Every structure is written in C-alpha cells, then in structure tokens.
Chains A and B, each alone.
Chain A
Amino acid sequence: MKSRTIKVDYLARVEGEGALLVKIKGNTLADVKLKIFEPPRFFEAFLRGRRYSEAPDITARICGICPIAYQMSAVHAMEDAFDVQVQGPLRELRRLLYCGEWIESHTLHVYMLHAPDFLGFQDAIQLAREHPAVVQRGLKLKKSGNEIVTLLGGREIHPVNVRVGGFYRVPTRKELEPLLEQMKWARDAALETVRWSAQLPFPEFEQDYTFVSLRHPDEYPFNEGRLVSNRGLDISVHDYDDYFTEEQVAHSNALHSVLKPGTPYFVGPLARYSLNFDRLSPVAQEAARSAGLGSECRNPFKSIIVRSVEILQACDEAIRIIEGYQRPDRPDVPIQPGAARGYACTEAPRGTLYHRYRIDESGTIREAKIVPPTSQNQKTIEQDLRHFVAGHLDDSQDELRWRCEQAIRNYDPCISCATHFLKLDIERE
C-alpha cells in the first residue's frame, strides 16, 4: 500500500498554538485531528473570588482581537443575573462598539489572513506588493473599526470603558460626529470589499452543516436573541447547558463543544448569515445578492464574502447609530448585586460566545464558565477537513497542505481564545 507523510510544523495566520494531523492510508483518509496544545489559561478560575464588576476587564484580556465580545458577554450575563435592562442610547452604544470590533476583526481576516490563500500569495505582504491599493483599502477600513473601539472603549486594545450596566463615560454627539464621515467612506469600502471578494476563485465544497447563532426579532444579532439552529433549535440562552455540552478529547487542550448528545455544529459568520439573512439591512442584502450569495451559504470558503457582507452590515448600522445618537443623562444603569446566576450569549466576530456566572450575596464571582466560538467549531473544522481531504487525496503534498491550511482559515480560528500556533502534520501510510 502506498503511503506518504506530510508534515507541516507551523500553520500561519491562525491565532494561538496548535497542530493539525492528517493520516492517509493508501487511498483512504484514516484520521484528522485538530490538536490544540497551547496551555489552558485558566481564565474561568481567575474569575472566581473576584467582584462581579471586574469580569468585563478580566475577560477582555482573553483576546486582543475580540475583547469587546468578551466584555459584552460578561456584562450581559451580569445584568441577566441582577435583572437589569440596559436600553436606549446605552444599548445603541454597545452595538456601535460591537460594530467597531466586527469591522476591525473581519477586515483583518478578509484582507490580511484569508485573501492571500485565494490568490496564491504566501501572505498579505505579497498581496500588498501586487495589489497595493487593495491592501491600502483594507488597512483603512480596519482602522475605521479601530477608531470606534478607541473612542467608545477608551483605547484600541483591551478597552477599559465598558462596565456592567453601561459605560464609565459616554461620548457627546460632537465627539461621535467625526466618525460619521469616516463610516460613510467605510460603508463604500465595505461594499467594494464584497464585490472584490466575490470574484475570488472558490472550490465547490458545500456541506450539510448544523448552523447555530443568535436570532433577534428585528436585528442582525450582536448582543441578544434566542439561540437557534437550522435544525429546529430555538432556546433561551438560559437553557444553553441543557442543549450543549463540552467534551474533553485527548488530542486537544481546548474542550470540544457539541449539541447533545454529540452533534458537531457551526457558529460564526456563515451560521449567522444563513439564519439571519432577513435581518440584514437592505444594503447588505442587496450586496450579498449581487455577490451571488443566496439567503444561505454552505460553502465555508465563501465565508470571506459573508464576512465582507457583515462588515458592510456593521458599517451601515454604525452610521444609523451615530446619526440617531442622543447622549444619555448617565453613562450606566445602577446595579444592585446579590446572590444569582447569570447567562449570556453574544455574537463575537467568530461566532456565539457563551458566558455563565454564579455570584454570591456579596457580589463575588463563585463560578464562571466561558465557551468561545473556536471551541464550538473544532469538531466541524475536523469534519470539513475529513470531507475536503477525501476529495483531494491525489493532490501533491504541498498543495494538500496548503488547502488544509486554507480550510482551517475559513473558520478564522482563535486558538488563543479556545484555550490556545498551529502545526500541521499530514501522514500518509
């Protein structure tokens, strides 16, 4: 029996330390394992014994790319515990902050991490040499997201202005105004990004996924909604633990999430889009249609188009929020902590992010559970690779390795968040 071994020691353009093992025996695929060996970081344990009010600042440190998502799930879970509703301009500002993070994070992935794969470039630097105007557009678009985060969050990375109940300080209308012109430019650039990404070459690879995301009665989901799937799931986030569970697997330091009893599922842009197409703004829907997307997208390689549509959605929403903004009288809603449990899911750029806390009567965190999107997608990534590699067994080693890397990058996995360099081994026996 013919056997080959492919070893790749480092998978670039993915956050965190991990490895991929692909075993091929003869003409059959024997095994695929996404191995995450970055040591666990014990954030859930750090949170125990800390004040409820410290959760947004501690959890923001989990990720330099999506700190807002961690802060938002934390504040929503605390507010759920203490039965507090944050509405009006404060809620709008939270959505605006989330828009900033989506624009920043998605644009980084689309232009710097994912696009080079489709064009046969080794990295974004090669892309910049060949298409400088495209990369300039990407960098400027990303910057417009950063500026929202800097203005509302107090600084660019690991923002400090978010608190349970709202913010420490809210901007004046005058402070927000300069963002408006920039966001109008960004919306045009995002539309151009959708058109540009839609012209990339895509492999035919449609999969029958179980998509899971938040769904809100009238918004494209960021902060709240019910957890739904394309297979009939429709639950309150309070019931998350009844329907989802985390399993330990020997080859990964990140827990694998499954829908009970053991179904892999898929969170992130593709899931959100496919479950909430009707909640996109008219401009985003039209751009998606013009890009050749239906109301559902099951080709993970096309996630680059879907991310671009979500950037457009975020720019459009940001403009709406800035134009309608009235500064609230106070920057936060008062909190009365007490013994309680709180639950929240928000939509991080990479997908649904679940937080659960148990707080004692003094307002101290006694238990914390955090389920990041990458943990939830691990099994689906493995499954994709299994199906994808099976169709490319005759490819050369280099080509197969490159394709596997691309297939993983479809998910924009953040291994640092999930526990936590990705090494890739392809063994052929």
Chain B
Amino acid sequence: MRERAMGPIRAPRLLAIGIGNIYRSDDAAGVIAARRLRQAGIDPSLVVEHSGEGASLMEVWKGADAVILIDAVSSGRPPGEVLRLEPINTPLPTQMFQSSSHAFSIPHAIEMARALGQLPARLIVFGIEGSNFHAGTELSREVSAAMPGLVQSVIKEINRLQFASGEGE
C-alpha cells in the first residue's frame, strides 16, 4: 500500500474524471457528470474535468489508487445507455471512444499506462452512449434523461471505493 504524504498537499487517492468537450454536444456528458457530482456534494478535490488528451490524462491520475473515468461512447447501443467497464485486465474497445487521432485517446492512454506500469490499482470506466457528437452545447434528450442515473451510479462507486480504500487503514 502507498504511503500518504504528510502535510496539507497530497495526491488524492480516489479520483473521478469526467471527460469530454463541452462544445461537442453529447461528448460533453463526462464533464457534465463531473459537475453534477460536485453539486451532489462529492468532495470537489476528488472530481476532475478533462479533455481526454491521453498523455496529460496519465499525469492526472498519477498517484491515485482508484480512478473512475466517465466518458461518452459511441458503440451502437441505444443512446443514454450506461456501460460500466473495468479495463484492469482487458483493454477497452478502441472504436467505442470518441477521440482525436492526433492526441491519443482514452483506451490508448490506458494501454500506454499499462505498458509503462502506471495503471492505478483500481480503474472503472463509465461510458454513456451518445447520439450527437456535432458542434453544440446541448446534450441529446436521451443522454440528458440518463444523466441522473449515471451520476447516482458513480456516487455509489465512489462510496464503495472509499469504503474499500478505508478498510485496512
């Protein structure tokens, strides 16, 4: 088990990272979920909004023991459907995640971290199926309707992980 640093600044052990671009409609879902987590009273220092650029994402989760990633996906499922994946032993399907091919995507960041031995001990990915990834600042009706359920699922996961990480201390 890692030691906690002494003093006021230490890397949070648990992080919920909402990923997306708020100007790309449903792609914003992860970021919107992060904001709702804070509004729901989750400690803001545990919640991060991120563009999804792989290299800096690996930096963000450095030092965290448990990481929850929340991102919009495009897998052909009904819009608004929420998937929970644990890519600790098996890679994520790369096609599912919206990405810029120039910067590397979330599945790539996870695989890169795995290759370099930098994966957090626990990694849980919540993917919410989007329908519209075009320029715009509104979530689709389906994603919007599914958002409260997604946020509740993430809160449950946070509570479970906090409880689990509190054990044995």
Query: Which of A's residues lie within 8 Å of B, judged by CB?
Result: 12-16, 41, 61, 64-65, 108, 112-113, 123-125, 128-129, 132, 135-136, 139, 142-143, 146, 156-157, 414, 416, 421
Q: Are A64 and B100 in contact (CB under 8 A)?
A: yes
Q: Are A135 and B116 in contact (CB under 8 A)?
A: yes
Q: Tell me the bound Cα distance from A13 to B94 in angstroms.
A: 14
Q: Tell me the bound Cα distance from A70 to B112 in angstroms.
A: 30
What B residues does A113 contact at CB under 8 A? 102
Q: Are A14 and B101 in contact (CB under 8 A)?
A: yes
Counting CB contacts under 8 A, is B59 at the interface?
A: yes
List CB contacts (< 8 Å) of B51-67 with chain A: 51, 53, 55-56, 58-59
B12-20, B103-111, B151-159, B161-169: which one contacts chain A? Answer: B103-111
Q: How far is the CB of A109 from the nearest CB of chain B, in Å?
A: 8
Q: Are A14 and B116 in contact (CB under 8 A)?
A: no
What B residues does A41 contact at CB under 8 A? 135
- Which of A14, A156, A157 meets B102, CB within 8 Å? A14
Total contacting residues, chain B, CB less than 8 A: 19
What B residues does A65 contact at CB under 8 A? 102-103
Who on chain A is nearest to B109 by CB?
A125
What A residues does B111 contact at CB under 8 A? 125
Counting CB contacts under 8 A, is B115 at the interface?
A: yes
Interface string of B46-82 (1 = CB under 8 A from A): 0000010101101100000000000000000000000
CB-based A-B contact count at 8 angstroms: 60
- Which of B23, B59, B116 meets A143, CB within 8 Å? B59
Q: Are B55 and A157 in contact (CB under 8 A)?
A: no
Q: Tell me the bound Cα distance from A14 to B103 in angstroms.
A: 9
Query: Which of B's residues lie within 8 Å of A, judged by CB?
Result: 23, 51, 53, 55-56, 58-59, 100-104, 108, 111-112, 115-117, 135
- Which of A12, A13, A143 meets B55, CB within 8 Å? A143
Q: Are B112 and A157 in contact (CB under 8 A)?
A: no
Q: Tell me the bound Cα distance from A156 to B112 in angstroms.
A: 21
What B residues does A14 contact at CB under 8 A? 101-102
Q: How far is the CB of A229 from the nearest CB of chain B, in Å?
A: 28
* Interface of A: prevailing SS: helix
Q: Tell me the bound Cα distance from A123 to B54 in angstroms.
A: 14
Q: Are A12 and B101 in contact (CB under 8 A)?
A: yes
What A residues does B51 contact at CB under 8 A? 64, 156-157
- Which of A12, A125, A142, A414 meets B112, CB within 8 Å? A125
Who on chain B is nearest to A127 by CB?
B115
- Which of A12, A123, A156, A416 meets B56, CB within 8 Å? A156
Q: Are B53 and A64 in contact (CB under 8 A)?
A: yes
Who on chain A is nearest to B102 by CB?
A15
Given contacts A139-B58, A143-B59, contact A123 B53 (CB under 8 A): no
Q: How far is the CB of B57 from the nearest CB of chain A, in Å?
A: 11
Who on chain B is nearest to A105 by CB?
B102
What B residues does A139 contact at CB under 8 A? 55, 58
Q: Tell me the bound Cα distance from A421 to B101 in angstroms.
A: 7
Q: Are A157 and B53 in contact (CB under 8 A)?
A: yes
- List of 5 A-B pairs having minimum Cβ-Cβ separation, nearest first: A15-B102, A128-B115, A129-B115, A125-B111, A157-B51
> Could you pull out 16 A-B pairs where Cβ atoms are within 8 angstroms?
A14-B101, A16-B101, A16-B102, A64-B53, A65-B102, A108-B103, A124-B104, A125-B112, A128-B112, A129-B115, A139-B55, A142-B55, A143-B55, A146-B56, A156-B56, A421-B101
